[in-house]
Amino acid sequence: MRVLVAMSGGVDSSVAALLLVEEGHEVVGATMKLWGGPAGSGCCSVADVDDARRVAQQLGIPHHVFNFTAEFEQSVVGPYADAHARGLTPNPCIACNAHLKFDRFLVRARQLGFDAIATGHHARVGWSNAARCLRRGRDVAKDQSYVLYMLGQDELSALLLPVGELTKAEVRALASRAGLRTARKPDSQDVCFIPTDGGRERFLGERIALRPGRLVTTEGQEVGEVGALELVTVGQRRGLGLAAPRARPERRYVVGVDLAKGTATVGRLEDLLVSRVVLQDVRWASGPPGPGAAVEAQTSAHGRPVPAHWDGEAVCLGQPVRKVAPGQAVVLYQPDGLLGDAVLGGGAAAG
């Protein structure tokens, strides 16, 4: 099988390529050049491209660089800034997966005659009811199925995830055994296009207007202000400059942001809890479950799934959870059976 491996310059994609070579496939590595601006501390740097190229040399496979900077700006960076300008909290990694890694990269692979693509994501491709499904990775702590919820049958039919059955420790052990230069390379943690100097505020301040806002309680009392309301997100506790009052010592969280009124509302933890989340831009792996179908809902990348059911418009949770910031993803999983870890689909929390 001819396989095009997306090599980010990290250890996971390096080992994905290694395993496919050892299985006897015709493997080619390709690194996507996505960000053309100042380098942040995430992926896509010149050093990452060099690491991917040198790992490919170690494995004896060809390596290419695909320049997708224009598409990245149009589909990821621009929408990221626009979402903040509308008071949303976007997830750029999910947008990158949807538009670049499993769209443009897959299209390019097919144009070049490859049978499949592969990535180093910690997730697995399986079968459920005669349809392809995405399953959690075996290493629960590193599972990345949450950020891949948008994959449908077309993408899953052409996708290999070689490290999905491995723990992170096993991945690093394989890389060390093969002498790969990425064996001890730390995982990237940050958004690749956010500069380390100035961070999110500087980046967004150069693209959208950042306006000050008032902090008000759920009773309407003004208790402070923030310098940039567009940077405030639902669920936020730190960075608000609020000291707990003596008469009310409990922590306070952002429970809502209203750009039109120029306010962010703060409240107690119980004010943040919800039992229903309306979703928009919903994507399903192989069709939606019927209204009332039992699911498990995960409301953050590393959150614990909770029992729920789908009512055709929203996730109705079996227990209260912290309110999901508008724009953030909620992913639904099969709740039981042999494939209780299978992704059914997901969408973004409505504003």
Which tens digits make up the pLDDT trace of 108-154? 999 999 999 999 999 999 988 889 999 999 999 999 999 999 999 99
What one-character-per-residue DSSP string does 275-290 give? EEEEEEEEEESSSPPP
Does residue 256 form part of some domain? yes
Task: Summarize pLDDT for 32-52 with one digit per residue, the tens.
Answer: 999 876 655 455 678 899 999
Q: What mean pLDDT do residues 304-327 have? A: 95
Tell me: do 82 and 168 sit in the same domain.
yes
Tell me: do 40 and 112 sit in the same domain.
yes
Tell me: do 345 and 292 sit in the same domain.
yes
* CATH code of residue 313: 2.40.30.10
Tell me: do 21 and 106 sit in the same domain.
yes
- Minimum mean pLDDT range among 38-52, 96-110, 165-179, 261-275: 38-52
Tell me: do 253 and 109 sit in the same domain.
no
DSSP 35: -
Q: Is the pLDDT of residue 53 over 60?
A: yes
Q: What mean pLDDT do residues 148-169 have? A: 98
User: Residues with Cβ < 8 Å from 261, sequence gap 6 or more?
Assistant: none
Q: Is the pLDDT of residue 209 over 90?
A: yes
Beta strands in 131-252 (DSSP E): 131-136, 159-160, 213-217, 222-226
Q: Is the pLDDT of residue 219 over 60?
A: yes
Tell me: do 302 and 231 sit in the same domain.
no
Q: What mean pLDDT do residues 331-343 have? A: 84
- Domain containing 61 equals 2-120+162-177
Distance CA 8, CA 14 (A): 8
Tell me: do 50 and 169 sit in the same domain.
yes
Tell me: do 256 and 278 sit in the same domain.
no
pLDDT at site 196:
81
pLDDT at site 38:
62
Question: Looking at 43, 44, 96, 133, which residue is catalytic?
Answer: 96
Q: Is the pLDDT of residue 256 over 60?
A: yes
pLDDT at site 192:
86
- Minimum mean pLDDT range among 80-84, 301-305, 322-326: 301-305
Tell me: do 251 and 276 sit in the same domain.
no
Tell me: do 166 and 56 sit in the same domain.
yes
- Minimum mean pLDDT range among 126-135, 150-159, 206-215: 126-135
Does residue 138 form part of some domain? no
Question: Looking at 44, 93, 133, 192, which residue is catalytic?
Answer: 192
Residue 96 is among the residues annotated as catalytic for this protein? yes
What one-character-per-residue DSSP string does 76-100 give? IIHHHHHHHHTT----HHHHHIIII
Tell me: do 263 and 331 sit in the same domain.
no
* CATH code of residue 108: 3.40.50.620
pLDDT interval class at 338 (50, 70, 90)? low
Q: Is the pLDDT of residue 236 over 80?
A: yes
Q: Is the pLDDT of residue 251 over 90?
A: no
Does residue 19 form part of some domain? yes
pLDDT at site 241:
81
Does residue 302 form part of some domain? yes
pLDDT interval class at 274 (50, 70, 90)? very high
Q: Is the pLDDT of residue 90 over 90?
A: yes
Name which residue leads in pLDDT, 296 or 336.
296
Tell me: do 113 and 243 sit in the same domain.
no
Q: What mean pLDDT do residues 197-211 have? A: 93
Does residue 222 form part of some domain? yes
Distance CA 189, CA 176 (A): 22
Does residue 199 form part of some domain? no
Helices (H) and strands (E) in the chain, counts: 10, 17
Does residue 193 form part of some domain? no
Other beta carbons within 10 Å of 340: 13
Task: Name the helix (H) or strand (E) containing 306.
Answer: strand 306-310
Domain count, the chain: 3
Distance CA 164, CA 124 (A): 5
